[in-house]
Amino acid sequence: MPNRFKTLTRYTIEEEHRHPGSSGEFSALINVVSTAAKIIANQVTRGAIVGSEVEDEGSVSGRLDVLTDEIMVGQTQWSGQLAGLLSEQHDTVLPAGTRRGKYLLAYDALDGSSNIDVNLPVGSIFSILRAPEGIVDGGADLAESDFLQPGVEQVCAGFTLYGPATMLVLTTGSGVDGFTLDREIGAFVLTHPQMRIPQDTGGFAINAANERFWERPVRRYVLECLEGVEGPRGRDFNMRWVASLVADTFHILTKGGVYLYPRDTRSPAVPGRVSLLYGANPIAFIVEQAGGAATTGHERVMEVSPSAAHQRVPFIFGSRNEVLRIERYHREPDADKRFDSSLFGTRSLFRPARHDQRT
Which residues are annotated as part of the binding site?
Answer: 111-114, 207, 259-261
Please name the residue ranges forming H helices in the chain.
8-17, 25-44, 60-76, 133-136, 216-226, 245-255, 281-289, 320-331
Task: Please give the annotated binding residues for substrate, written as ranges.
Answer: 111-114, 207, 259-261
331 φ, ψ (degrees, to nearest 5): -90, -25
* Cα angle: 256, vertex 259, 260; to 5 degrees: 155
Give the integer Cα–Cα distance in Å for 190 and 209: 38
How are the residues of the chain apportioned to helix, strand and coil, as percentages rounded to the nearest 5?
A: 40, 20, 40
257 φ, ψ (degrees, to nearest 5): 140, 180
- Closest by CA to 159, choosing from 186, 142, 178, 141, is 178
Give the integer Cα–Cα distance in Å for 274 and 281: 10
- Closest by CA to 314, choosing from 264, 268, 253, is 264
**CA 172 to centroid of chain Cα atoms:** 15
Give the integer Cα–Cα distance in Å for 8 and 190: 7
- Closest by CA to 116, choosing from 172, 153, 68, 169, is 68
Q: How far is residue 52 from each of residues 56, 60, 71, measured CA to CA in Å?
A: 9, 11, 16
